[in-house]
């Protein structure tokens, strides 16, 4: 039986990969995928704890966050497409209209 430590370590690793991706990548879609990665890292730790403590609550929360992530992806992708139509690019370093 693999202990919970391994699952949490994997979750932390995925989360950090997600953060680094968000910070260093310039393609909006990749950033978006990194955000999804972070969400799933959290989902993983929720499921781990749920199974570890024999409590169903964590798994229910995962359903919620999956549903919200799906809804968010719809809106986010729509925004990215709209930006692409205007700019012909999804490079976020070009999207800085709100600068000083």
Contact criterion met (CB below 8 Å) for 32 and 80? yes
How many whole angstroms separate alpha carbon 59 and alpha carbon 51?
9
Any idea which residue has 């403590």 for tokens? Answer: 53
Measured in residues, the chain has a length of 100
Question: For other proteins, which is the closer residue by CB, 19 or 37?
Answer: 19
Nearer to other proteins, 27 or 55 (CB): 27
How does DSSP classify residue 56? Answer: S
Residue placing its CB nearer to other proteins in the complex, 2 or 97: 97
Q: In angstroms, what is the minimal distance from the CB of 42 to other proteins?
A: 13
Q: How far is the CB of 99 from other proteins (least distance, A)?
A: 3
Q: How far is the CB of 97 from other proteins (least distance, A)?
A: 7
User: How many CB atoms within 10 Å of residue 32?
Assistant: 20
Please give the angle made by the CA atoms of 20, 57 and 14, to the nearest 5 degrees: 15
**Binding residues for other proteins (CB under 8 A):** 19, 22-24, 26, 31, 92-93, 95-100
**Which residue number, 60 or 82, has a Cβ lying nearer to other proteins?**
82
Residue 57 C-beta: closest distance to other proteins, Å: 22
């Amino acid at each position: 039986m693999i202990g919970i430590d391994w699952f949490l370590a994997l979750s932390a690793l995925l989360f950090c990969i997600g953060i680094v991706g968000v910070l260093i990548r310039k393609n909006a879609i990749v950033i978006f995928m990194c955000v999804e990665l972070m969400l799933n890292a959290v989902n993983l730790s929720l499921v781990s704890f749920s199974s570890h403590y024999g409590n169903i609550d964590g798994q229910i929360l995962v359903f919620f966050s999956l549903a919200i992530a799906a809804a968010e992806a719809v809106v986010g992708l729509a925004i990215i497409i709209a930006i692409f139509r205007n700019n012909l690019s999804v490079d976020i370093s070009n999207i800085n209209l709100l600068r000083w």
